[in-house]
């Protein structure tokens, strides 16, 4: 029943987004369209969030029928200070999404009106603890851009279409939705404009099913944690999945992440707000995680979940001046070598391990190549295995992620393990085909459940899972490819040799009889 509801909500959301796209076809480039839709969705949500919060408080106080949206700006001002302290921002009634919508079609200066509203929302947080969380949130929604139209009138006409489209989305109470509506909208929009995906670098979305698997593995055995961290957090889907699985109140000190791409960084912060994560419960930083990490004062983290960019370039050993700095960095120095300059995957692994709590778990999506390549990567794998930090390697199916068809892996790290074996799980066939992509199924007997149960059980299962002792990995020269330890099932048809030989003998005998008969016929003809 839950899956049916999910599908219905998702289909409805996709239809609504497509309707907006169709209405703006030829006017707004797809990639830019994404930012406008998501930004306007955020404006709607943040307006409804504040309105609902104030209305609920007034109704509880006995003020039945109160509606903040109908209040005058003058009367509303008295709530500003309290709302900024509580919610981190403030919006005047006249500047709420619902009230803007009413006047949008007749506003000849709609672009300026929106620009003022967005600035006022950001400015409402200035000088408060939430200032950093709101600064620049609307930067990707340029209401004066020629991309919206060559003239003010055309820009405003498209803005009206956008506002009406977002207003018509039947999303109800986002906290009660079975899907991550905002995240799902992001994923869908990425898919709509596949040819441009990632043109500004790093703007990829971890499918919700993969987020579910990754997070469930990272929180096994935990009912509450101190902090959740993602060193390459993107739009924040993994952080939010942890909030959903554990309950945001069970993450005592909040959610931490770092993202190098500005657009995605803004989206992540927006996404946090939209999922009712208070400004004082998250800290998202905009910087290069490997070169300039921003959360030294916040580590260690009990849960780390991440899908870092695959084999991205980094400084590594490319700059002689930086090598002494990086090799002495407490995150990288234990391994004695740096990840190759063209492949930063293991740099993210070492960074995550360094910031992992003693009782913590890190689950990180990896490019398969790091499991078997030689050189510096082998030396880092040796360090990880010799020190018993790798708990599990999971081979995932191919074609799970938007933008790549490769079969990725999950590396699970722990600082405190019960034994010195490593669990290998071959989940390469745990999926269903959906159009051109593969998908992990949810539910009691779904792919995600199979993988998580195997991770928990830590028991050998033919063709699927195997616990491998340290000594065997050493003999394999620290190769961590799942296929080296879990024998794949032979799906070829089994042939009965005895039966086959009997059939061949019968064919040969028949052939001999046939030859004899032909010889007789030829002899008769020759007469």
Q: Are 232 and 327 in a shared domain?
A: yes
CATH of residue 212: 3.40.50.150
Q: What is the mean pLDDT of residues 504-509?
A: 85
Q: What pLDDT shows up at residue 70?
A: 96
Q: What is the mean pLDDT of residues 67-88?
A: 95
Contact 206, 307 (CB under 8 A): yes
Q: What is the mean pLDDT of residues 326-355?
A: 95
Q: What pLDDT shows up at residue 438?
A: 87
Q: What pLDDT shows up at residue 198?
A: 44
Q: What pLDDT shows up at residue 201?
A: 39
- pLDDT at residue 357 greater than cutoff 90: yes
Q: Are 459 and 509 in a shared domain?
A: no
Q: What pLDDT shows up at residue 35?
A: 77
Phi first, then psi: what are they for 160, rounded to 5°?
Answer: -60, -45
| Cβ within 8 Å of residue 210, ≥6 positions away | 307, 365, 396, 400, 401, 440
| For the chain, percent of residues with pLDDT exceeding 90 | 57
Q: What pLDDT shows up at residue 207?
A: 79
Q: Are 185 and 264 in a shared domain?
A: no
Residue 14 in domain: yes
Q: What pLDDT shows up at residue 426?
A: 95
Q: What is the mean pLDDT of residues 109-132?
A: 95
Tell me how far apart the alpha carbons of residues 179 and 213 are, in angstroms, rounded to a whole number. Answer: 16
- pLDDT at residue 504 greater than cutoff 90: no
Q: Are 375 and 515 in a shared domain?
A: no
The 10s digit of each residue's pLDDT in 459-472 is 999 999 999 999 99
Minimum mean pLDDT among 274-278, 311-315, 377-381: which range? 274-278
Q: What pLDDT shows up at residue 237?
A: 85
Tokens of 371: 């499991």
Q: Are 219 and 135 in a shared domain?
A: no
> Please, what is the average pLDDT of the chain?
87
Residue with tokens 């199979």: 450
Q: HSE of 450 in the Cβ direction (CA atoms, 13 Å)? A: 18
How many other C-beta atoms can be found within 10 angstroms of the C-beta atom of residue 106? 8
Tell me how far apart the alpha carbons of residues 387 and 430 are, in angstroms, rounded to a whole number. Answer: 31
Instruction: Using the 3D structure, point to which of 136, 161, 193 is the last residue of a domain.
Output: 193
Q: What pLDDT shows up at residue 187?
A: 64
Q: Are 297 and 342 in a shared domain?
A: yes
Instruction: Using the 3D structure, point to which of 161, 193, 225 is the last residue of a domain.
Output: 193
| For the chain, percent of residues with pLDDT exceeding 70 | 90
For residue 42, CA distances in Å to 203, 224, 334, 404, 498 come to 18, 29, 43, 28, 70
CATH of residue 32: 1.20.1260.30
Identify the band that residue 197 occupies on the pLDDT scale cut at 50, 70 and 90: very low
Residue 309 in domain: yes
Tell me how far apart the alpha carbons of residues 165 and 159 are, in angstroms, rounded to a whole number. Answer: 10
Instruction: Using the 3D structure, point to which of 165, 193, 221 is the last residue of a domain.
Output: 193
Residue 489 in domain: no
- pLDDT at residue 141 greater than cutoff 90: no
Tell me how far apart the alpha carbons of residues 62 and 67 are, in angstroms, rounded to a whole number. Answer: 13
The 10s digit of each residue's pLDDT in 287-302 is 999 999 999 999 999 9
| Centroid of chain to Cα 326 | 28
Greater pLDDT, 500 or 3: 500
Q: Are 189 and 264 in a shared domain?
A: no
Contact 305, 362 (CB under 8 A): yes
Q: Are 472 and 510 in a shared domain?
A: no
Greater pLDDT, 157 or 33: 157
Q: Are 186 and 127 in a shared domain?
A: yes
Tell me how far apart the alpha carbons of residues 93 and 62 are, in angstroms, rounded to a whole number. Answer: 21
Residue 203 in domain: no
Q: Is the peptide bond before 300 cis (omega within 30 degrees of 0)?
A: yes
Q: What is the mean pLDDT of residues 233-241?
A: 89
- pLDDT at residue 377 greater than cutoff 80: yes
Q: Where is mean pLDDT largest: 16-20, 41-45, 381-385?
A: 381-385
Q: What pLDDT shows up at residue 176?
A: 55
Minimum mean pLDDT among 219-228, 315-324, 449-458: which range? 315-324
Residue 74 in domain: yes
Q: Are 502 and 476 in a shared domain?
A: no
| Cβ within 8 Å of residue 453, ≥6 positions away | none
Q: Residue 515: give the domain boundaries.
A: 496-527
For residue 457, CA distances in Å to 54, 423, 460 come to 48, 10, 9
Tell me how far apart the alpha carbons of residues 295 and 265 are, in angstroms, rounded to a whole number. Answer: 15
Q: Are 150 and 225 in a shared domain?
A: no
Q: What pLDDT shows up at residue 12?
A: 81
The 10s digit of each residue's pLDDT in 212-231 is 999 999 999 999 999 999 99
Q: Are 225 and 169 in a shared domain?
A: no
Residue with tokens 């020269």: 477
Q: What pLDDT shows up at residue 180?
A: 60
Q: What pLDDT shows up at residue 288?
A: 95
Q: What pLDDT shows up at residue 275?
A: 79
Residue 379 in domain: yes
* Number of domains forming the structure of the chain: 3
| Centroid of chain to Cα 288 | 18
Nearest to 186 by CA among 271, 105, 85, 61: 271
Tell me how far apart the alpha carbons of residues 411 and 235 are, in angstroms, rounded to a whole number. Answer: 21
Crossing angle of helices 208-218 and 181-192, in 10° steps, is: 130
Tell me how far apart the alpha carbons of residues 48 and 365 are, in angstroms, rounded to a whole number. Answer: 35
Greater pLDDT, 271 or 69: 69
Give the angle subtended at the CA of 505 by the CAs of 502 and 510, to the nearest 5°: 125
Contact 315, 338 (CB under 8 A): no
Q: How far apart are the first and last CA of the chain?
A: 84
- pLDDT at residue 480 greater than cutoff 80: yes
Q: Where is mean pLDDT largest: 186-200, 338-352, 395-409?
A: 338-352
Q: Answer left, alpha or beta for residue 252, where phi above 0 means left and psi between -120 and 50 means alpha.
A: alpha
Minimum mean pLDDT among 46-50, 189-193, 325-329, 466-470: which range? 189-193
Residue 490 in domain: no
Q: What pLDDT shows up at residue 513?
A: 83
Give the angle subtended at the CA of 316 by the CAs of 315 and 321, to the nearest 5°: 75
Nearest to 389 by CA among 371, 411, 405, 408: 411
**DSSP states of 73-142:** HHHHGGGHHHHHHHHS----GGGSHHHHHHHHTT-TTHHHHHHHHHHHHHHHTTTSTTHHHHTTTTTT--
Minimum mean pLDDT among 54-58, 73-77, 405-409: which range? 405-409
Q: What pLDDT shows up at residue 139?
A: 86
Residue 333 in domain: yes
């Amino acid at each position: 029943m839950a899956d049916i509801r999910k599908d219905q909500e998702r289909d409805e959301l996709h239809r609504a987004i497509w309707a907006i796209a169709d209405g703006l076809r030829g006017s707004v480039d797809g990639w830019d369209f994404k930012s406008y839709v998501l930004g306007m969705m955020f404006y709607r949500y943040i307006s409804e969030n504040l309105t609902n919060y104030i209305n609920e408080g007034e109704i509880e106080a006995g003020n039945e029928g109160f509606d903040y949206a109908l209040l005058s700006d003058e009367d509303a001002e008295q709530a500003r200070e309290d709302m900024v302290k509580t919610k981190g921002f403030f919006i005047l009634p006249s500047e709420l999404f619902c009230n803007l919508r009413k006047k949008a079609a007749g506003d000849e200066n709609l672009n300026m009106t929106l620009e003022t509203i967005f600035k006022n929302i950001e400015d409402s947080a200035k000088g408060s603890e939430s200032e950093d969380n709101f600064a620049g949130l609307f930067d990707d929604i340029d209401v004066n851009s020629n991309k919206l139209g060559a003239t003010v009138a055309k820009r405003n006409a498209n803005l009206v279409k956008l506002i009406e489209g977002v207003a018509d989305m039947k999303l109800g109470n986002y906290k009660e939705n079975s899907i991550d509506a905002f995240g799902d909208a992001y994923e869908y929009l990425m898919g709509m404009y596949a040819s441009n995906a990632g043109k500004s670098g790093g703007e990829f979305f971890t499918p919700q099913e993969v987020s579910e698997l990754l997070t469930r593995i990272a929180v096994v055995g935990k009912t509450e944690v101190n902090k959740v961290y993602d060193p390459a957090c993107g739009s924040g889907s993994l952080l939010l999945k942890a909030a959903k699985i554990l309950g945001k109140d069970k993450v005592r000190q909040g959610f931490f992440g770092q993202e190098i791409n500005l657009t995605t960084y803004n989206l992540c912060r927006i996404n946090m707000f939209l999922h009712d994560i208070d400004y004082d419960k998250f800290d998202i930083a905009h910087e290069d995680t490997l070169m300039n990490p921003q959360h030294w004062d916040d580590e260690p983290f009990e849960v780390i979940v991440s899908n870092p960019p695959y084999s991205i370039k980094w400084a590594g050993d490319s700059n002689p001046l930086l090598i002494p700095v990086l090799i002495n960095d407490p995150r990288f120095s234990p391994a004695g070598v740096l990840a190759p300059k063209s492949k930063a995957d293991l740099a993210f692994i070492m960074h995550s391990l360094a910031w992992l709590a003693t009782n913590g778990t890190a689950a990180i999506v990896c490019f398969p190549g790091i499991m078997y390549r030689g050189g510096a990567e082998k030396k880092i794998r040796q360090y990880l295995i010799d020190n018993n930090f790798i708990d599990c390697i999971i081979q995932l199916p191919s074609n799970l992620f938007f933008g790549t068809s490769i079969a990725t892996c999950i590396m699970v790290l722990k600082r405190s393990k019960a034994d010195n074996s490593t669990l290998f799980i071959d989940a390469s066939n745990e999926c269903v085909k959906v159009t051109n992509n593969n998908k992990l199924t949810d539910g009691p007997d779904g792919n995600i459940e199979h993988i998580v149960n195997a991770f928990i059980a830590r028991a050998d299962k033919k063709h699927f899972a195997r616990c491998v002792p340290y000594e065997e990995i050493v003999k394999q020269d620290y190769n961590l490819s799942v296929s080296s330890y879990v024998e794949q099932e032979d799906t070829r048809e089994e042939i009965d040799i005895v039966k086959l030989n009997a059939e061949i003998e019968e064919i040969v005998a028949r052939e001999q009889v046939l030859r004899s008969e032909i010889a007789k016929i030829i002899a008769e003809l020759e007469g």
